[in-house]
């Protein structure tokens, strides 16, 4: 039986899951694993190679040709797709608009969940995503479910994107988030749902420090002195 600690953070898009996960990992000296980035990397590969998502053989072949690694560089966790740093490109709207559809494919989810479970077998980890506390690590010691007001989430996301995509509109961002919420919560394979034993963290009006304090209070009892 493993004695390592797993903190599972699930929730809607643009709720700050990765931000708090990174802060927790740094504070606790845990390994942070961004599962959303993994699905975005797969989506990028599918888009670049025009993979026919209705063809099971084509999907399986693509997955066999995908190698994803997470590397920490200058304090930042970068994601590499077949040895190429795609950390910036996977955040672009063309990837965001397709990731929920690709992530809903059973073969894709099975492949990523298998990788994620291997990552958390022997080390203390903070992992965020959509199905971490329900599918990937249902026995995680701490489960957080993050949510926030949709308008606030859209505003946060818009501020991130407009720096590099000045032509993007708030309406586009809001509609994209609404579509992703629908796809994430209604897909048949590992939908986004709150685990029964998850602790809800609504950060609509919380500062980053307040969120971090809230999460640390839930995690520290599980850390042995």
Q: What angle do CA 78, 79, 83 make, to 5 degrees?
A: 115
The string of DSSP codes covering 78-97 is EEEETTEE-TTGGGSHHHHT
d(CA 95, CA 46): 10
d(CA 61, CA 153): 36
Tens-digit pLDDT profile for residues 111-153: 999 988 988 887 899 999 999 999 999 999 999 999 999 999 9
Q: Within a 13 Å sphere around the CA of 81, how many CA atoms are in the beta-carbon half?
A: 20
Alpha carbon 110 to its chain's center? 15
d(CA 58, CA 117): 25
Structure-model confidence comparison of residues 122 and 99, the more confident one: 99
Q: So what's the pLDDT on residue 75? A: 63
State yes or no: pLDDT of 225 exceeds 50.
Answer: no
């Amino acid at each position: 039986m493993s004695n390592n600690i797993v903190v599972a953070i699930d929730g809607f898009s643009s709720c700050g899951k990765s931000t708090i996960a990174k802060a927790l990992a740094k504070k606790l000296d845990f390994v942070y694993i961004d599962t959303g980035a993994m699905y975005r990397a797969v989506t990028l590969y599918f888009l670049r190679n025009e993979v026919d998502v209705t063809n099971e053989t084509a999907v399986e072949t693509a997955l066999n040709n995908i190698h994803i690694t997470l590397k920490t560089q200058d304090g930042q966790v970068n994601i590499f797709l077949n040895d190429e740093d795609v950390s910036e490109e996977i955040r672009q709207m063309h990837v965001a608009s397709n990731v929920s559809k690709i992530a809903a494919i059973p073969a894709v989810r099975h492949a990523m969940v298998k990788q994620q479970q291997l990552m958390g077998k022997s080390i203390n980890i903070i992992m965020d995503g959509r199905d971490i506390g329900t599918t990937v690590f249902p026995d995680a010691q701490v489960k957080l479910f993050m949510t926030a007001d949709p308008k606030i989430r859209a505003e946060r996301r818009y501020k991130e994107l407009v720096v590099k995509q000045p032509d993007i509109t708030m309406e586009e961002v809001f509609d994209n988030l609404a579509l992703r919420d629908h796809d994430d919560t209604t897909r048949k394979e590992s939908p986004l749902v709150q685990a029964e034993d998850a602790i809800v963290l609504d950060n609509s009006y919380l500062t980053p420090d307040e969120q971090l304090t809230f999460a640390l209070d839930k995690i520290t009892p599980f850390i042995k002195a």
